[in-house]
Amino acid sequence: MGHTNVLLREDIDDLGARGEIVRVKAGYARNYLLPRKLAVQATASNVKQIEQERAALLKKEAKEKGGAEEQAGQMKSLRLSFTRKVGDHGILYGSVTSMDIAEALNERGYQIDRRRITLREAIKETGEFSVSVRLHREVTVEIPVEVRSEGGSKTETELAAAAPQAARQSEQEAVKSPEDESQDSVENG
């Protein structure tokens, strides 16, 4: 397998930042990076051209980072809530995916690409979750996401939370002495 050096024109995750010269497999460069104009061949003339563009690139980078930090500040107070159909044991029919989160953010006026939303796996149960949104390679914001059951029916987790209260209440009723019961019957009679 042949390798080639390319000069990156855009930031690429797990590869490098804009303006860097990286060594990649020739097929990756030929079939992906070059046609999408994400990189150019690392020739002497291209390196000189990028060096001249570097000042403009640094300004553009600073502006993008500033915009991302501003947007992160606005998104800090944001909470997303989803209502889904739930089966037994609090498991969702379907799931909440990064695409669902991107659509919810879009409805609130934030244009976020779903690939910038980090979910280890789709959310498949009710509860509260934290989702990471990468606005810039140096700016990430955590957004709380709540998933509730549709129709207000109690899920297993809600029932489990209510169980200790019910147990305490039944213990209190069992502790009533026979004198209390006779006094209750006199008051009711």
Q: For the chain of 189 residues, list the mean pLDDT of each consecutive stretch of 10.
A: 86 83 92 92 82 78 87 88 86 89 91 87 89 87 90 51 48 49 49
Question: Is the pTM above the cut of 0.85?
Answer: no
> What is the pLDDT, as a whole number, of residue 159?
47
CA-atom Rg of the chain in angstroms: 29
- What fold is seen in the domain 80-158? Ribosomal Protein L9; domain 2 (3.10.430)
Residue appearing with tokens 């006026």: 109
> What is the pLDDT, as a whole number, of residue 152?
60
Which residues, 6 or more positions from 78, have their beta carbon under 8 angstroms from its beta carbon? 105, 108, 143
> What is the pLDDT, as a whole number, of residue 172?
47
Residue 90: DSSP 8-state: G
Sign of CA dihedral 176, 182, 183, 184: positive
CB 4 within 8 A of CB 41: yes
> What is the pLDDT, as a whole number, of residue 155?
43
- What fold is seen in the domain 3-66? Ribosomal Protein L9; domain 1 (3.40.5)
- Portions of the chain given CATH number 3.40.5.10: 3-66
- Portions of the chain given CATH number 3.10.430.100: 80-158
Phi, psi torsion values for 67, nearest 5 degrees: -65, -40
> What is the pLDDT, as a whole number, of residue 1?
63
> What is the pLDDT, as a whole number, of residue 162?
47
| Residue 141 CB neighbour total at 10 angstroms | 19
Task: Tell how far CA 170 is from the center of its chain.
Answer: 42
